[in-house]
Amino acid sequence: MDVIFSGIQPSGSLTLGNYLGALRNFIPFQEKAECYYCIVNQHAITVPQEAALLHERTRNLAALYIACGMDPKKATIFVQSEVPEHALLGWMMICTSYVGEMERMTQYKSKARKEEAKEGFIPLGLMTYPPLMAADILLYQTTLVPVGEDQTQHMEITRDLAERFNRKYGEVFTLPKMWAPQGGARVMSLQDPSSKMSKSDDNEWATIHMLDDTDTIVKKIKRAVTDSLGHVHYDKETQPGVSNLMSIYAALSGKSYEDIERDYEGKGYGIFKKDLTDLIVGEMAPILERYHELTGSPELDRILDEGREKAEAKAHATYTRAIHAMGLYR
């Protein structure tokens, strides 16, 4: 049976991109695999966070996981910082890493540049982000990691570090594979379809947040950039805006681009956008309702307490093997 591990940072309000590219794809695995879904708050602090906000977002993200259909009876849902083995093995993976390979990571380079411009320094945690992510994954003897395409390099370094450790100290870790959704489901900005839809976009019209209300979604889709060609047709080169909206439509309806083109032949963007809005709202409304039930409830704490216990049991077994392999015991 496969072991699945994935995580999302509680560092902002999740977007439709996070949902279609990551969160939604976590759910089906729980029927057929041993699943660990983590709220990676220790990754979030690789850039400065406000304490009260981080705390709130951690709870909210857990509620959102469950609202999306994650079933705590089938999957282990937990907060990274509550299982200390993550940081402990993280340190061992840092000591297995080389400065050169970390400096070459594309996410490091772009985030380092951004932080230096904003704060005047580069937090060291940004550089040690990948070995911590490797520790997350390796602690559970994970076989498959469902993440978006942008995590490819992090998955490669995770395998490199596992292999390096196994070669030097003996076979402790399973080598995990990345699982990316078919078609790559990369949702682009509604205002600039050449850049990814992101939690941290300054233009509020660019991003649909999972917690947006119906009215806001209606307005954002109405304002989404299209073109003057006036026909619903998939071509990323000539109609990037429309193609992005079509890819959201396809992901939510299960229809192919050909089907969508046929359905909207001779119709304008207005009708297409209206139907797309209905699809988004139809998917999000029940999630939102469940989310609001959960956030303040003691049920959420029960689920996370139980998740921590189950995660810790498995993590501790691997961690014990790793410290013995490395000679890190008395």
- The site for ligand AMP (CB under 6 A) is made up of 8-9, 17-18, 20-22, 147-148, 150-151, 185-187, 196-197, 199
Question: Who contacts 191 (Cβ-Cβ below 8 Å, separation ≥6)?
Answer: 201, 203, 205, 206, 223, 224, 225
Q: Taking the CA of residue 131 as centre, how many other CA atoms within 13 Å lie in the half-sphere pointing to its CB?
A: 24
Nearest residue (CB) to ligand TRP, 137 versus 232: 137
* Whether the Cβ atoms of residue 23 and residue 62 lie closer than 8 Å to each other: no
How near is the Cβ of 9 to ligand TRP at its closest, in Å?
6
Selected range binding ligand TRP among 3-11, 51-59, 216-224, 309-317, rule: CB under 6 A? 3-11
3-state helix, strand, coil split of the chain in percent (to 5) is 60, 10, 35
How near is the Cβ of 5 to ligand TRP at its closest, in Å?
5
Binding status of residue 7 toward ligand TRP by CB under 6 A? yes
Per CB under 6 A, contacts with ligand TRP among 142-171 are: 145, 147, 151, 154
Contact partner at residue 5 from ligand AMP, ligand TRP, none, CB < 5 to 8 Å by partner kind: ligand TRP
Build a one-symbol-per-residue string for 271-310: x at contacts with ligand TRP by CB under 6 A, - elsewhere: ----------------------------------------
Consecutive H or E run containing 198: none
Strand-by-strand arrangement of the 34-39 sheet: 75-79, 34-39, 3-8, 144-146, 177-179
Q: How far apart are CA 89 and CA 318, in angstroms?
A: 9
Nearest residue (CB) to ligand TRP, 80 versus 247: 80
Contact pick of 66, 67, 93, 133 for ligand TRP (by CB under 6 A): 133
How near is the Cβ of 27 to ligand TRP at its closest, in Å?
15
Q: Which position has the token pair 């109405």? A: 222
Amino acid occupying residue 116:
E
Active site residues: 111, 196, 199
Q: Mark residue 217 as left, alpha or beta (left: phi above 0; alpha: psi -120 to 50; beta: remaining).
A: alpha
* Binding stretches for ligand TRP (CB under 6 A): 5-9, 40, 43, 133, 136-137, 145, 147, 151, 154
